[in-house]
Amino acid sequence: MSGRIELNRKDLAEQEKCMEAVRKILLDRYPNRQPLAFVHSYGCQQNVSDGEKLCGMLAEMGYGFTNQESQADCILFNTCAVRENAEFRIFGNVGNLKRYKRVNPNLIIGLCGCMMQQEHVAKKIRESYPYVDLIFGTHASHLFPFMLKKRLEGQKHVEEIENHNGLIVEDLPVLRDGAFKAWLPVMYGCDNFCTYCIVPYVRGRERSRRPEKILEEVEQLAKKGYKEIMLLGQNVNSYGKGLEEPVDFTELLRRIDDVEGDFRVRFMTSHPKDCTREMIDTIAQSQKLCHHIHLPVQSGSNRILRQMNRCYDTKQYLDLIAYAKEKIPDVTLSSDIIVGFPGETYEDFCRTLDLIRQVEYDFLFTFIYSKRVGTKAAQMEDPVPAQEKSKWFRALLEEQSTIGQKRNEKRIGTVLQVLVDGSGKEGTGRVGGKSGGNITVEFLGDASLIGQLVNVKITQAHNWGVIGEKLE
Ligand code: SAH
Ligand code: SF4
Ligand code: F3S
């Protein structure tokens, strides 16, 4: 197993000792109250999942939690670098923290996650935001207790942004955000190097967790009564590279499907180049796998797909979609689309519109191209003005809104199983949740239903989702 490193028992024992030491320091420093932490994760579910581990470690070390920055003794921003506006927002929010530090000089401010893994960002933080105490990247979450200990013992600034490629950390404490939906990473990193994307640079090379570790976690979650498990990875369907036991993603799905319990399973993100017919067959035959495939196409132009280094063309993509529709008649389909990739012409963009009309996606995640330092696309000519790109972007949203509405109209009269996760639109008295196909469903009901799987007969369609009536 080349390059694969797992933290061993000795490392974890060291970490446990360190967390114990922090607990003691905190008891001394806060004799009359529990210190509070504020943790916010930006970006994708992988980051949210990492954030749950940071919270797990904080709880072990004696922190309670607050959702108000002004009340916190430790503030952690778990950052995202995928687009420029994500970074701008985070810099703005870090700027705001200075005033809390003035009021509470003992406040510890930490920045971690994807943005910190970029050297130029870490430098900017060091230079322009000197009141930030801790900086650590995606490869160093498990070192957080060691860093916090150093800071509490008096070191002014603690940093850990080295690239420990290939590291997998198992058995960290985790404090899950939800009591009925759980994130479960199956692989980390990405080897695809799509030319626009920063993720492979900040998350390192692909590495897969051992299947027994994943199954153990699924079993524990099922026993605890979790109703939905989301398997996570930047490219879940290339799961298995470098494992001792040859288990691919389809085999992993089969094994998870066999775990006993009343829960459903989702996964994201699958890459079209690694999406096999066998995987689609497995979803069709399974008991627990949701009938939703998120398969980001990014563009409907073969020229742009080549420039993006996506390694498939629209024909291959559309063949897969046709196969999925045939084998899973109630499948819902979603995608990510980038508008305004360098050199994209209006004709290329129109091919994207054509493709979304052909596929008839249930919903889309749409982005205007954002230049990322260090990626190949950042070197490409990008002559189309931002205004023009915005125009295309709006046209795409409009087209999808019509398609989404049409797809939802077909759901009227059907019964969807909904995992209720909160209130519906304000003032309506409705609760809401997601169907197995990940469609937003709302119906009249009260908060006691939150966390339950409920059958709902659909009566109304909108472009954002559907409304229905709960069946007894
Ligand atoms: N690994 C996943 C998702 C990664 S990031 C995948 O390959 O599908 C989520 C989405 O952000 C991408 O699918 C892409 O549509 C978008 N994205 C990534 N980099 C971007 C950039 N530089 N500008 C605009 N959108 C981007
Ligand atoms: Fe980025 Fe492409 Fe990897 Fe997704 S598959 S994380 S878009 S490089
Ligand atoms: Fe952002 Fe990092 Fe996820 S860049 S999208 S948080 S992998």
> Are 94 and 129 contacting, i.e. CB atoms less than 8 angstroms apart?
yes
Specify the ligand 3 atom closest to the Cα of 86.
Answer: 1
Residues 435 and 351: their CA atoms lie apart, in Å, by 30
Specify the ligand 2 atom closest to the Cα of 235.
Answer: 5
For residue 420, give the 3-state DSSP assignment.
Answer: strand
**Protein residue closest via CA to atom 5 of ligand 1:** 82
Ligand 3 pocket by C-beta < 6 Å: which residues?
Answer: 43-44, 46-47, 80-82, 114, 198-199, 202-203
Indicate which ligand has the atom closest to the C-alpha of 85: 1
What is 229-247 written as a DSSP string? EEEE-TTGGGTTTT-SS--
Which pLDDT value is given to residue 5? 67
**Protein residue closest via CA to atom 9 of ligand 1:** 336
Which pLDDT value is given to residue 11? 79
Specify the ligand 2 atom closest to the Cα of 193.
Answer: 8
Indicate which ligand has the atom closest to the C-alpha of 337: 1
The four Cα atoms 174, 180, 181, 185 give a dihedral, to 10 degrees, of 40
343-349-354 Cα angle (round to 5): 150
Phi/psi for 104 (5° steps) reads -130, 90
Q: How far is the CA of 82 from the centre of ligand 2 (A)?
A: 10
Indicate which ligand has the atom closest to the C-alpha of 373: 1
CA atoms within 13 Å, Cβ hemisphere of 74:
29
Residues 326 and 323: their CA atoms lie apart, in Å, by 5
Specify the ligand 1 atom closest to the Cα of 198.
Answer: 19
Phi/psi for 292 (5° steps) reads -135, 130
Q: CB of 190 closer than 6 A to ligand 2?
A: yes
**Protein residue closest via CA to atom 24 of ligand 1:** 369
Which run of H or of E encompasses 418? strand 415-423
Q: How far is the CA of 406 from the centre of ligand 3 (A)?
A: 32
Probe ligand 1: pick from 46, 82, 193, max atoms within 8 Å of CB?
82
Q: CB of 208 closer than 6 A to ligand 2?
A: no
For residue 252, give the 3-state DSSP assignment.
Answer: helix
**Protein residue closest via CA to atom 15 of ligand 1:** 336
**Protein residue closest via CA to atom 3 of ligand 3:** 44
Low-confidence ranges of the chain (pLDDT < 50): 1-2
Indicate which ligand has the atom closest to the C-alpha of 270: 1
**Protein residue closest via CA to atom 2 of ligand 2:** 194
Largest CA distance in the chain: 67
Indicate which ligand has the atom closest to the C-alpha of 367: 1
Which pLDDT value is given to residue 472? 83
Q: Is 167 exposed, middle or buried (0-12, 13-18, 19+ CB in 10 A)?
A: buried
Which pLDDT value is given to residue 2? 43
Q: CB of 300 closer than 6 A to ligand 2?
A: no
> Are 22 and 60 contacting, i.e. CB atoms less than 8 angstroms apart?
no
**Is the bond preceding residue 269 a cis peptide, omega within 30 degrees?**
yes
